[in-house]
Amino acid sequence: MDRCSSPLLSHRLKRRNYTTPTSYLELLTLYMTMLEEQSTIKEANIRKFKTGLDKLISTNEMVKQMEQELSKLAPVLEQSAKDVAELLIQIDREQAEATQVGGGFLLRSP
């Protein structure tokens, strides 16, 4: 404790306070233990943050690669969409023709 606060403490508690060498060594041991624990916690947090950062970086690289692949496949997808639209138009046409030929009756299977 501070030398100035020791008289105040002794006046308030109406007793003297002493720090023995043993209690001082215990205080130092406690401090070293707490410091070691906090250092271990800090190192674990640093490890977690580094792992998370590495995952973010690798994910970012994967997303860039996927975007490149998607841009390469975009023309193929557009052509497929056009083909599907044409096929739907053809199916609608054939279905309309089949309805006219069948006299407007739909055949039901038993």
Q: What does the pLDDT look like over 47-73, one tens digit per residue?
A: 999 999 999 999 999 999 999 999 999
Rounded CA separation 35/40 (Å): 9
For the chain, the structural domain boundaries read 21-97
pLDDT tens for 5-33 read 677 777 888 887 778 899 999 999 999 99
SS3 content of the chain, % helix, strand, coil (to 5): 80, 0, 20
- For the entire predicted model, the pTM comes to 0.51
